[in-house]
Amino acid sequence: MPKPMGKRVFGLDLMRATAISLVVFSHISWLLPFKSGLLVDLMSIAGVIGVEIFFVLSGFLIGRIIYKFFVSEDFHSGDIKYFWIRRWFRTIPNYFLGLMWNLIVLLALGFSIPDGIWKYVLFIQNFSSGIPVFFYESWTLSIEEFAYLIGPIIIYLFYLFRRNGNRSRQFLYMVICIILMCTVLRLIYNANQEIRDMEYWNLNLKAVVIYRLDAVYYGALAAYLSLVWPGFWKRSRFVLFFLGVCLFIVLNLLPVAQGILIESYPAFWNVWYLPLNSVAIMLTLPLLSNWHASSNVMTRLITGLSLISYAIYVLHYSIIMQVMRHVIPNEQFIGIDLLIYIVVYLTAVLLSSYLLYKVYEKPMTDLRDHPKIIDRFRLKRENNS
């Protein structure tokens, strides 16, 4: 595992490590000889929750960054450009490497390049409709990229409309605007969509950009609260955590226990289930964002897993799992043989992800702090001020 970089918040690392563990656990269901039952249902829910944690956590982190530079006295449009550059050095290299490897695997397995491959270059493969099977897990990355773009654009429009306005409130208006926009779009979807099953919901609502941007901005709302009311944020962390856990349990256990299915309650699933999960996760942030743990073996492992989580996400399913299933078909394995197969798979995921992080991801991310990048944007900023 890589060593922790700088001063990190253990609670946030724990969230990230938990999220990627849930996502990988969910996809292991594809290696099981049975495709239905309680375990498979739990694994499916785990994947949904893991991704939602990623969205809210990402929104919390970028929300704090955007808020701080936006409310500063010397704010300029160059700050937004520099924010985008820093995010792109963090997200785009792994994404396009993953896209390239997915194409290589696809061709190596004898398949042809899918139609609309150009959409993946622009992150619009799931902008307003369901994502194709190819590089399926990229749906979350499209949502995050558009969240990084749209929020700063909206906030800058508020700024241009009223330069002397309260920027803290303008940030809040931006967050509320995105949350309301996505809620309205889901209401329209629910009103016009025939009742379908959960598989259709999974592809055509849960994984579509225009319906899901708010998941990131519930995290940004948490960022706003943490910066504007820091006393309340810290003082109420245990109560809010308890409420978040209770809401989370009710949302994810009650439907199973009471048979609240999409066929009978489409509005709950189409409009409210996902944002309420975002709120539940958001309520855990006051406690987790203030959790600083002392260094020991367990905390180092969790932090290390957090650091390679993006690499794991890009590699674990469409690349490593599909190659393994092609080279060594898993259908023949049961019992201890299947367990060994899964252990080999997880080992391959961890080792490959660690290598990707050390050799490619971290060096590419570090370029955003290169003096030439910093000086170039600082010079542009000074020339425009």
Q: What are the pLDDT digits (tens) for 208-239?
A: 999 999 999 999 999 999 999 999 999 999 99
Q: What are the pLDDT digits (tens) for 258-295?
A: 778 888 899 999 999 999 999 999 999 999 999 998 88
Q: What are the pLDDT digits (tens) for 140-188?
A: 999 999 999 999 999 999 999 988 889 999 999 999 999 999 999 999 9
How confident is the model at residue 293, as a pLDDT? 86
H or E segment to which residue 188 belongs? helix 167-192
If pLDDT is split at 50, 70 and 90, which confidence band does 380 have? Answer: low
For the segment 327-350, the average pLDDT, to the nearest whole number, is 92
How confident is the model at residue 385, as a pLDDT? 40
Which residue is associated with the tokens 């409130």? 169
Give the count of beta carbons closer than 10 Å to the beta carbon of residue 29: 19
How confident is the model at residue 138, as a pLDDT? 96
How confident is the model at residue 198, as a pLDDT? 86
- The answer, yes or no, to whether residue 113 has pLDDT greater than 70, is yes
178-183, long-range: CB < 8 A, 24+ apart: 178/150, 178/151, 178/154, 178/213, 178/214, 178/217, 179/214, 179/217, 179/218, 179/221, 179/275, 181/213, 181/214, 182/210, 182/211, 182/212, 182/213, 182/214, 182/275, 183/214, 183/271, 183/275
How confident is the model at residue 379, as a pLDDT? 52
Asked if 316 and 354 count as a contact pair (C-beta separation under 8 A), the reply is no
Of these ranges, 4-18, 46-60, 186-200, 332-346, the one predicted with the greatest mean pLDDT is: 46-60
Q: How far is CA 102 from the centre of its chain?
A: 20
Q: What are the pLDDT digits (tens) for 298-336?
A: 999 999 999 999 999 999 999 999 999 999 988 888 889
How confident is the model at residue 295, as a pLDDT? 83
Q: To the nearest whole number, what is the mean pLDDT of the chain?
A: 92
Compute the distance between CA of residue 204 and CA of residue 218 in angstroms, rounded to an integer. Answer: 21
User: Does pTM top 0.85 for this prediction?
Assistant: yes
Closest CA to 269 of 313, 204, 349, 209: 204
Asked if 282 and 320 count as a contact pair (C-beta separation under 8 A), the reply is no
- The answer, yes or no, to whether residue 33 has pLDDT greater than 90, is no
How confident is the model at residue 97, as a pLDDT? 97
If pLDDT is split at 50, 70 and 90, which confidence band does 100 have? Answer: very high
- The answer, yes or no, to whether residue 4 has pLDDT greater than 70, is no
If pLDDT is split at 50, 70 and 90, which confidence band does 383 have? Answer: very low
For the segment 61-79, the average pLDDT, to the nearest whole number, is 93
